[in-house]
Chain A
């Protein structure tokens, strides 16, 4: 049947690339030959490269034919089956970002775990996580959201604790697992409530029902309110929003450094993709009920992140808190999408997500190099790096300036776009608070820069990493900070 191939399998190619790479890696593992290890490492890149290639192919061939153009012309079940995976022009750009972010983080991960025997398993899990991220942002019903979210989360819990020698790793993994499963249960509960109320799992049908309820139900009835509150809690857990952020610093600190980079960049991007689908794709008709709550939570998230980071001595923990505050800015962007004209708002959110993703990934790439050589990521370990290792220091400088939102970098433009959106949609108070909190944030970013360039090193650090690919990856991340600042149209702005 041509329909299934054209409308389902071909759009699925980017996901298939990751799944195929994962299966191939499992197959290669069956031979148990140490000589196959370099091949395994190379094979790891098949997923991201294949996914980016497939996305590029889809982009070139038929930009919009893959959306829901064919509704109604086939049997109902076939329609629903095909639509359980939705690809539109926005999603395709997000696929690009997922492919690129996973590519760079695979470089860091392969270098960091080069001597570890479980490297192939780590790569297999990562391939499937990446596939699940793509499924998550293109899901069109709640069942698919749940499946993809679990396929993404459970291997992540395992990856956090993969380094057994680190005592803290297992603890972080367990904590992350417990919080994550709690959030999953709440998500399931809210799905059940919504299903009971609307009788459907499809986003479009639910949103139609909420707009015009059958039989004159009250669209803001208690059940819908409960479901939407539970959505806020469970998605808030996953994104690290403020009252539900407790797991995040521990999980990010306990995980191996490059895996934290992956979690903070690519998985966060997928999480926001899901939030976009759930809130603007499904609960948009009752948006007045949740935008206010999310607005308050976003400001709370920023302050918790920025105030929490002030006193941190460990750089991993510091940037974990910084990622909480960035989640706050992103949620502010999320709630100010609708009224601006949704396309533009989504693009601005995407711009910030990509810039933030590369920034976080680059910082954790550098931290991984430092940790590999010195054994920890204390602030004292980067003292004087700016002069003893000019290249790393410069990249670190650019990335941290971008995190702080200082003008020549893309971090500034991203923040400006989000805040401008929020002002236009009337969230002026929130924006004032957001600017205030990002001023607080500058303090601890500057502390890192002071350590880099203005402190006499208490110990002489010599980084002897010979892996050129890692430095190339770090350079790429730093380059993105400058490049996207001057050419934002490359990201669709």
Chain B
């Protein structure tokens, strides 16, 4: 049962991922990406990692792919696509490299000691407890990080406006 589900989810993910690369229409690519994320979250469910499965869909599908679709819509990427170079060679090379590095990783991790903690049953509670106790300080630094990124993006875009002589918002 587990094996069968694993193979089914994996094949589904791979098929959807190839859809991302192969489809000519960028909107179809984005939607295939959503499908492949669903497949991934199914894999997480199989490993008993419910929280990760949920987050995978919420964040990647809910936020990131929607952003992709917005960008595709705003930029009208059809035009760009006609001029894009043929990336088949790059794709094949990187896929080969990743395949071999996965094999190497498999060899390396064969000797993983078992002192990595088991996946707990109530994951949300465990993670939030860690975030607000042991890892509170890195978590706080994360908020600084987001703030700095907002300022940085503001600085870049404003510099762009000025140098293009565009009107200021």
Q: Does B15 contact A (CB under 8 A)?
A: no
Q: Pick the contact of A144 from B108, B137, B162 — CB < 8 Å? A: B137
- Binding stretch for chain B, among A43-51, A147-155, A441-449, A459-467: A147-155
Is the CB–CB distance between B108 and A223 below 8 Å? Answer: yes
B window 97-152: CB within 8 A of A = 107-109, 111-113, 115-117, 133-138, 141-142, 144-145, 147-149, 151-152
Report which of B113, B136, B142, B163 forms a contact with A217, defined as CB distance below 8 A: B113
Asked if B134 contacts A196 (CB within 8 A), the reply is no
Nearest Cβ distance between residue B130 and chain A, in whole angstroms?
8
Cα A199 to Cα B113 with chains together (Å) = 9
- Shortest B47–chain A CB gap in Å is 15
Which of B58-66, B80-88, B153-161 forms part of the interface with chain A? B153-161
Tell me the smallest distance from the CB of B9 to a CB of chain A, in Å.
23
Q: Tell whether, in the assembled complex, residue A121 and residue B154 are in contact, meaning their CB atoms are under 8 Å apart.
A: yes
The reply to whether A151 and B108 contact each other, CB–CB distance below 8 Å, is: no
Contact status B155-A154, CB under 8 Å: no
CB–CB A155/B113 < 8 A = no
Interface centre among B154, B156, B159, B162 (most CB of A within 10 A): B159
Asked whether B137 lies within 8 Å of A77 as measured between CB atoms, the reply is no
In the complex with contacts A196-B109, A222-B108, A81-B137 CB distance below 8 A:
yes
Interface size class of B (residues with CB under 8 A): 20 to 34
Is the Cβ of A154 less than 8 Å from the Cβ of B149? Answer: yes
Q: Per-residue 0/1 for A107-145: is the Cβ within 8 Å of any B Cβ (1 yes, 0 no)? A: 000000000011001101100100100010000000110
CB distance from B44 to the nearest CB of A (A): 17
The reply to whether B162 and A215 contact each other, CB–CB distance below 8 Å, is no
A125 vs B151: C-alpha distance when bound (angstroms): 7
Look across to chain B and name the residue whose beta carbon is closest to the beta carbon of A214. Answer: B115
**Segment touching B, from A59-67, A157-165, A351-359:** A157-165
A-side interface residues, number (CB < 8 Å): 46
Question: In the docked arrangement, what's the CA distance between A196 and B114, Å?
Answer: 9
Contact between B151 and A26, CB atoms less than 8 A apart: yes
Select A135's contact among B135, B141, B152, B156, beta carbons within 8 Å.
B141
Q: Do the beta carbons of B142 and A155 come within 8 Å of each other?
A: no
- Which single residue of chain B is at the shortest CB-CB distance from A117? B162
User: Do B156 and A158 touch across chains, with their CB atoms under 8 A apart?
Assistant: yes
A151 and B141 contact, CB distance less than 8 A: yes
CA distance in complex: A215, B138 (Å): 31
Minimum CB–CB distance from B85 to chain A (whole Å) comes to: 18
CB within 8 Å for A154 and B152 given contacts A196-B112, A223-B108: yes
Point out the residues of chain A lying under 8 angstroms from B163, CB to CB: 164-165
A375 at interface by CB-CB < 8 Å: no
Interchain CA distance A402-B152 in the complex, whole Å: 35
Contact B160 A164 (CB under 8 A): yes
The answer to whether A196 touches B152, judged by C-beta atoms less than 8 angstroms apart, is no
A485 at the interface (CB under 8 A from B): no
Q: Return A165 CB to nearest CB of chain B, in Å.
A: 6
Given contacts A150-B145, A151-B145, contact A124 B151 (CB under 8 A): yes
Point out the residue from A26, A151, A214 that lies within 8 Å of B113, measured CB to CB. A214
Is A226 in the interface zone, CB < 8 Å from B? yes
Using Cβ atoms and an 8 Å threshold, which residues of chain B touch A226?
108
Contact with B along A25-47 (1 / 0, CB 8 A): 01000000000000000000000
Contacting residue for B159 out of A118, A151, A155, A197, CB 8 A: A118
Determine whether the beta carbon of B116 is less than 8 Å from that of A199: yes
- Interface contact B112-A158, CB-CB below 8 Å: no
Question: Given A128-B148, A197-B112, A118 and B134 touching (CB < 8 A)?
Answer: no
* CB of A253, distance to nearest CB on chain B (Å): 19
Give Cα distance in the complex from A338 to B111, angstroms: 30
Docked pose: A213 CA to B137 CA in angstroms: 29
Contact assessment for A118 and B141 in the assembled complex, using a CB-CB cutoff below 8 Å: no
**A143–B115 touching, CB < 8 Å:** no
Q: Provide the bound-state CA to CA distance between A195 and B117, in Å.
A: 11
Q: Is A6 positioned at the interface, with any CB of B under 8 Å from its CB?
A: no
A341 adjacent to chain B (CB < 8 Å): no
Query: With A158-B155, A197-B112, A223-B108 in contact, do A151 and B148 touch (Cβ < 8 Å)?
Result: yes
Q: How far is the CA of A434 from the CA of B151 in the complex (A)?
A: 43
Residues of chain B within 8 A (CB-CB) of A215 are 113, 115
Name B8-56 residues within 8 Å CB distance of A: none
- Indicate if A84 sits at the interface (CB-CB under 8 A): yes
Expressed in whole angstroms, the minimum distance between the Cβ of B147 and any Cβ of chain A is 8
* A158 cross-chain contacts in B, Cβ below 8 A: 152, 155-156
Min distance, Cβ B3 to any Cβ of chain A, angstroms? 24
* A161 proximity list for chain B (CB < 8 A): 156
User: Which chain B residues lie closer than 8 Å to A272 at the CB level?
Assistant: none
**Chain A nearest CB, measured from B35 CB (Å):** 26
Query: Which residues of the partner chain B approach A19 to less than 8 Å between Cβ atoms?
Result: 144
CA distance in complex: A199, B147 (Å): 31
In the complex, the answer to whether A143 meets B135 with C-beta atoms within 8 Å is yes
Between-chain CB contacts (< 8 Å), 21 pairs: A19-B144, A26-B151, A77-B134, A81-B136, A117-B158, A121-B158, A124-B148, A125-B148, A128-B144, A128-B148, A148-B141, A151-B141, A151-B145, A154-B149, A155-B151, A158-B155, A164-B159, A164-B162, A193-B108, A199-B117, A217-B111
Residues of A within 8 A of B (CB): 8, 19, 26, 77-78, 80-81, 84-85, 117-118, 121-122, 124-125, 128, 131, 135, 143-144, 147-148, 150-151, 154-155, 158, 161-165, 193, 195-199, 213-215, 217, 221-223, 226
